[in-house]
């Protein structure tokens, strides 16, 4: 039976979308958009013309900023995988076990105190204009890493089992698309997105269970050596 790489990449894309729903990203989205665009939260949903273009431009630059960080992680993971190619069988087993542990943590079955902390940048007014959204996206890419650790770490572990830099880069690029597209969609449909955000916040337990199940499936596939066939 032939492998289907779309399935593995779909899992990476879904993981990115789930990262968008994490407690240190989703509730702060209005604040992020306001900060990078220079438009108050109250006015985000009322902007028209130049205001909407400003918010959208700033959001796209912000997404490009954190995309550079995460895709860079993918390239480094692929490079690491090349150096550890002779240990790939062992590395795959270790990666699978770690991802399963992340899944149990995400569902609240086990506790890992080190993963509860999150680094956040304390920022004031954005003094760099719309173009400042690009370096800010890079900065927040680093800041989010501890918060989305279980999901991002799982994708990173899968990338380390790849055979080339391109494979690791592709995997994290797809993950970044899953994280970035909701940002841009929120900028375009801000008022509608707020209603969806409120539902997600009321049902975070359900989101965590779904996230954990996705990671569990990914961990099992990695552990059995099947995910690399689906992706690569």
Euclidean distance between CA atoms 191 and 187, whole angstroms:
9
Q: Which of 47-56, 106-115, 192-201 has the lowest mean pLDDT?
A: 106-115
Share of the chain above pLDDT 90, in %: 12
Tokens read off for 136: 């800010």
Report which of residues 135 and 232 the model is more confident about: 135
**Average pLDDT estimate for 21-43:** 82
pLDDT at 219: 85
Half-sphere exposure of 199 (CA within 13 A, CB side): 5
Instruction: Report the chain's terminal Cα–Cα distance, integer Å.
Output: 15
Convert the pLDDT of each residue in 42-99 to its tens digit: 777 776 677 788 889 999 999 999 999 988 888 888 787 777 777 777 878 888 888 8
- Residue 146 DSSP class: T
pLDDT at 1: 36
Does position 163 have pLDDT exceeding 80, yes or no?
A: no
Euclidean distance between CA atoms 68 and 101, whole angstroms:
28
Q: pLDDT confidence of 123, banded at 50, 70, 90?
A: very low
Quote the pTM value. Answer: 0.79
Half-sphere exposure of 117 (CA within 13 A, CB side): 3
Q: pLDDT confidence of 227, banded at 50, 70, 90?
A: low
Tokens read off for 109: 């079955």
Beta carbons within 10 angstroms of residue 39's beta carbon: 18
List the domain boundaries for the chain. Answer: 10-227
| Residue that is written with structure tokens 């390239």 in the block | 75
Winning range, highest mean pLDDT, from 21-30, 126-135, 184-193: 184-193
Report which of residues 139 and 48 the model is more confident about: 139
pLDDT at 122: 46
Report which of residues 148 and 12 the model is more confident about: 12
Convert the pLDDT of each residue in 172-182 to its tens digit: 899 999 999 99
User: Across all residues in the chain, what is the average pLDDT?
Assistant: 80
pLDDT at 87: 74
**Average pLDDT estimate for 176-199:** 88
């Amino acid at each position: 039976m032939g492998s289907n790489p779309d399935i593995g990449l779909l899992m990476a894309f879904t993981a990115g979308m789930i990262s968008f729903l994490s407690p240190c990203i989703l509730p702060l989205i209005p604040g992020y958009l306001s900060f990078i665009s220079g438009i108050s939260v109250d006015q985000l949903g009322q902007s028209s013309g130049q205001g909407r273009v400003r918010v959208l431009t700033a959001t796209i630059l912000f997404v490009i900023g954190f995309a550079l960080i995460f895709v860079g992680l993918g390239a480094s993971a692929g490079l690491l995988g090349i150096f550890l190619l002779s240990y790939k069988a062992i590395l795959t087993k270790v990666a699978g076990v770690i991802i399963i542990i992340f899944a149990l943590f995400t569902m609240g079955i086990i506790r890992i105190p080190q993963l509860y902390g999150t680094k956040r940048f304390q920022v004031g007014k954005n003094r760099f204009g719309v173009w400042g959204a690009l370096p800010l996206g890079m900065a927040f890419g680093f800041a989010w890493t501890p918060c989305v650790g279980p999901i991002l770490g799982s994708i990173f572990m899968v990338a380390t089992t790849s055979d080339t830099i391109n494979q690791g880069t592709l995997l994290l690029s797809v993950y970044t698309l899953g994280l970035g597209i909701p940002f841009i969609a929120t900028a375009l449909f801000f008022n509608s997105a707020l209603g969806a955000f409120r539902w997600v916040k009321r049902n975070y337990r359900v989101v965590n269970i779904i996230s954990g199940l996705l990671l569990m499936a990914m961990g099992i596939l990695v552990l059995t050596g099947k995910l690399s066939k689906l992706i690569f």
